[in-house]
């Protein structure tokens, strides 16, 4: 079967979902008000609360939620065949991710730009807030630790991409100064910045002197450099320290100085990257060689599929970004549909091309089955297979494979870096909220909270030895990411549902995906915690994952019971907020 058919069907569903379903949700359910004074205006401080053009904000929102996850998840989930991954990405984006991201943004805007963690206190109760914040902290800590390793790994494997990624930083700061201090236009400078990055990437792909290849500088895996670390491990150490210094600075700067212009450049990268890949698909017209359903898969797809593909279908991290940073920058409430729902559609498009790139990469079904011989192997080769498959698609429009692979690596690293510093900024917000809640004034200070976030993330990366070697400590907790992330999405949908009920609106649009997601997540979590990590099944006991997983599982059940109680009390547990004028 031609892969073009998959692309056309998927894009048609996304188009109809945005044009009709999101309009229905915006006008009939959320009832957006163009005259509502958003927190960006009401609490404008020039640091976090900054009224922002909807295109620029869409760029920030999309690139913050995208990261590498909408690529990695589908590239792994295709282990079960392309059909389950395709259906979950397309339908999940339209009926779950869109209303989730859109709803979290509107809910936060109607409540002073507060995060979903704080809103849990208002909508469900004090105990739920503490449980919720605990899950969020575990989640962002895992994201920080693993994305630091992912970016370091890409820098090591694609040294030709490093220079372009670092050139973006001064260019973004220059654009921020130009726009906010000189009242300039962001569009043309950002396009020029993108062109500079790609020209640099093309030259670096062919000129080894421009490739920042740390393992080569340190003598490779055969050479012990210092502290018992060989050249590769020392490279990880240096890149992780550099990244932690970067995220500290990036997450404390006013959003207009780096975050907004850099994310706007990255939104162009999305357009260019998707344009290259979809045009390459159109001109090369490859056949799908991955099976529709992998009958040789030894790990069942149900319910694991729904926690393996998070970003690209629905993800709790999106609700954190929507209520954490995006809601503080929303210029008009009616922009929420474009920023929130269309942000989810953008990620769906990325997940769709990731499925196609992997599904068309192999010469025949036998080659696919040999490469994806187990679920564990799929987890190890997913991202690399995507980059190779994307490079193969790009050759359809006559871009050499090595240059295409470098450009794809630049895009993936740029998105991952955006997610990393947004995640650290979110962790700072949460620590500050906890400081306010428990009257610990020092935690409310920006640099104290940021230091705690960065140091704890670096410690998780560097101190324990992870399953993928030095610097991969975050992977010790990573098996919890899928369930924790989807659990967070389910709880956020629950908050929106309760809020809509209070407003007397039709809440089925969030209740139905919430029930589905919670059942799938708790089912998958129960399997992992009690039959895999506990040692009751064939696998050896993993005490760390079992204890943390069991705590999160119990917390999730507890939150659900609190929510049912709040629902049965017919809103008496939900205080009236003067900002909720709807």
CATH for 327: 1.10.4160
Domain assignment present for 349: yes
Domain assignment present for 484: no
Domain assignment present for 230: no
- Proportion of the chain in helix, strand, coil states, percent, rounded to 5: 75, 0, 25
The label of the residue with tokens 């696919």 reads: 368
Separation between Cα atoms, residue 348 and residue 352, nearest integer Å: 6
CB 104 within 8 A of CB 539: no
Domain assignment present for 280: yes
Query: Dihedral of the CA atoms 554, 310, 160, 156 (nearest 10)?
Result: 30
Q: Is 472 exposed, middle or buried (0-12, 13-18, 19+ CB in 10 A)?
A: buried
Residue 570's pLDDT is 58
Here the tokens at position 556 are 């999730």
**Crossing angle for the helix pair 342-359 and 259-284, nearest 10 degrees?**
40
What is the 3 state secondary structure string of 121-181?
A: HHHCCHHHHHHHHHHHHHHHHHHHHHHHHHHHHHHHHCHHHHHHHHHHHHHHHHHHHHHHC
The answer to whether the bond into 3 is cis (omega within 30° of 0) is no
Separation between Cα atoms, residue 230 and residue 208, nearest integer Å: 22
Domain extent at residue 101: 3-131+155-209+241-299+308-465
The label of the residue with tokens 């907790």 reads: 477
Domain assignment present for 508: no
Query: Dihedral of the CA atoms 139, 141, 146, 151 (nearest 10)?
Result: 120
Separation between Cα atoms, residue 492 and residue 100, nearest integer Å: 7
Residue 281's pLDDT is 92
Closest CA to 413 of 208, 116, 158: 158
Here the tokens at position 522 are 């708790």
Separation between Cα atoms, residue 233 and residue 222, nearest integer Å: 11
Residue 571's pLDDT is 53
Domain assignment present for 558: no
Helix (H, G, I), strand (E, B) or coil at 269: helix
User: What distance lies between CA 252 and its chain's CA centroid?
Assistant: 20
Burial 425-436 (b: 16+ CB within 10 A, else e): bbbbbbbbbbbe
Domain assignment present for 494: no
Domain assignment present for 556: no
Separation between Cα atoms, residue 200 and residue 190, nearest integer Å: 15
Spell out the per-residue pLDDT of the chain, length 582, in tens.
899 999 999 999 999 999 999 999 999 999 999 999 999 999 998 888 999 999 889 988 887 787 677 888 899 999 999 999 999 999 999 999 999 999 999 999 999 998 887 888 888 877 777 777 778 888 888 888 888 888 898 899 889 889 998 999 999 999 888 887 777 778 888 889 999 998 998 899 889 889 999 999 998 888 888 888 899 999 999 999 999 999 999 888 888 888 888 888 888 888 888 888 899 999 999 999 999 999 888 888 988 999 899 888 999 889 988 998 899 999 999 999 999 999 999 999 999 999 999 999 999 999 999 999 998 888 878 777 888 888 888 888 888 877 887 888 888 888 788 878 888 888 888 888 788 878 888 988 999 999 999 999 999 989 888 777 888 888 788 788 888 888 889 989 999 999 998 888 999 999 999 999 999 999 998 888 888 888 876 778 888 889 888 888 888 888 788 777 777 765 544 444 444 443
Query: Dihedral of the CA atoms 190, 195, 196, 198 (nearest 10)?
Result: 130
Residue 228's pLDDT is 85
Separation between Cα atoms, residue 470 and residue 446, nearest integer Å: 30
**Number of domain units in the chain:** 1
Residue 576's pLDDT is 45
The pTM for the full model equals 0.85
Separation between Cα atoms, residue 195 and residue 371, nearest integer Å: 36
Here the tokens at position 235 are 């490279």
């Amino acid at each position: 079967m031609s892969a073009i058919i998959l692309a056309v069907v998927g894009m048609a569903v996304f188009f109809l979902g945005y044009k009709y379903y999101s309009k229905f949700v915006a006008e009939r359910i959320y009832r957006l008000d163009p005259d509502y004074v958003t927190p960006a205006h009401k609490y404008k401080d020039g640091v976090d609360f900054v009224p922002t053009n909807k295109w620029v904000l869409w760029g920030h929102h999309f690139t913050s939620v995208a990261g590498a996850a909408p690529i990695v998840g589908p590239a792994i989930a295709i282990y079960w065949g392309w059909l389950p991954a395709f259906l979950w990405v397309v339908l999940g984006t339209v009926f779950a991710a869109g209303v989730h991201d859109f709803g979290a943004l509107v809910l936060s805007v109607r409540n002073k730009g507060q995060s979903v963690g704080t809103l849990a206190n208002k909508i469900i109760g004090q105990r739920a807030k503490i449980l919720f914040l605990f899950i969020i902290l575990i989640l962002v800590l895992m994201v920080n630790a693993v994305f630091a390793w992912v970016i370091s790994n890409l820098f090591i494997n694609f040294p030709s991409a490093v220079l372009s990624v670092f050139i973006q930083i001064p260019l973004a700061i220059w654009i921020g100064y130009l726009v906010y201090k000189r009242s300039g236009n962001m569009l043309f400078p950002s396009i020029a910045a993108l062109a500079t990055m790609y020209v640099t990437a093309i030259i670096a792909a062919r000129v080894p002197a421009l490739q920042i290849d740390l393992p080569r500088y340190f003598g490779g895996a055969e050479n012990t450099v210092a502290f018992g670390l060989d050249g590769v491990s020392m490279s990880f150490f240096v890149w992780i320290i550099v990244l932690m210094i970067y995220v500290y600075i990036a997450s404390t700067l006013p959003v207009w100085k780096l975050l907004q212009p850099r994310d706007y450049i990255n939104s162009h990268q999305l357009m260019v990257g998707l344009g290259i890949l979809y045009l390459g698909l159109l001109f090369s017209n490859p056949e799908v060689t991955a099976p529709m359903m992998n009958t040789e898969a030894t790990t069942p797809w149900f319910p694991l599929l729904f926690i393996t593909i998070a970003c690209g279908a629905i993800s709790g991290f999106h609700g954190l970004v929507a209520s954490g940073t995006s809601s503080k920058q929303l210029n008009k409430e009616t922009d929420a549909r474009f920023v929130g729902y269309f942000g989810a559609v953008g990620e769906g498009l990325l997940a769709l091309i990731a499925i196609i790139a992997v599904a068309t990469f192999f010469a025949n079904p036998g080659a696919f089955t040999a490469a994806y011989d187990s679920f564990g192997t799929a987890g190890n080769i997913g991202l690399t297979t995507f980059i190779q498959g994307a490079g193969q698609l790009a050759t359809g429009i006559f871009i050499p494979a090595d240059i295409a692979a470098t450009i794809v690596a630049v895009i993936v690293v740029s998105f991952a870096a955006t997610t990393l510093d947004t995640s650290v900024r979110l962790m700072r917000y949460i620590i500050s909220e906890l400081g306010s809640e428990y009257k610990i004034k020092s935690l409310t200070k920006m640099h104290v909270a940021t230091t705690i976030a960065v140091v704890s993330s670096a410690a998780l990366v560097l101190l324990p030895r992870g399953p993928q070697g030095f610097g991969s400590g975050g992977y010790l907790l990573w098996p919890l990411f899928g369930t924790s992330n989807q659990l967070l999405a389910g709880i956020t949908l629950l908050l929106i549902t309760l809020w809509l009920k209070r407003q007397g609106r039709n809440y089925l649009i969030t209740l139905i995906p919430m029930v589905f997601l919670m059942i799938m997540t708790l089912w998958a979590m129960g399997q992992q915690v009690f039959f895999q990590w506990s040692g009751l099944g064939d696998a050896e006991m993993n005490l760390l994952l079992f204890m943390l997983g069991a705590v999160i599982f119990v917390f999730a059940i507890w939150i659900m019971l609190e929510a049912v109680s709040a629902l049965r009390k017919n809103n008496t547990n939900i205080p009236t907020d003067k900002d909720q004028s709807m």
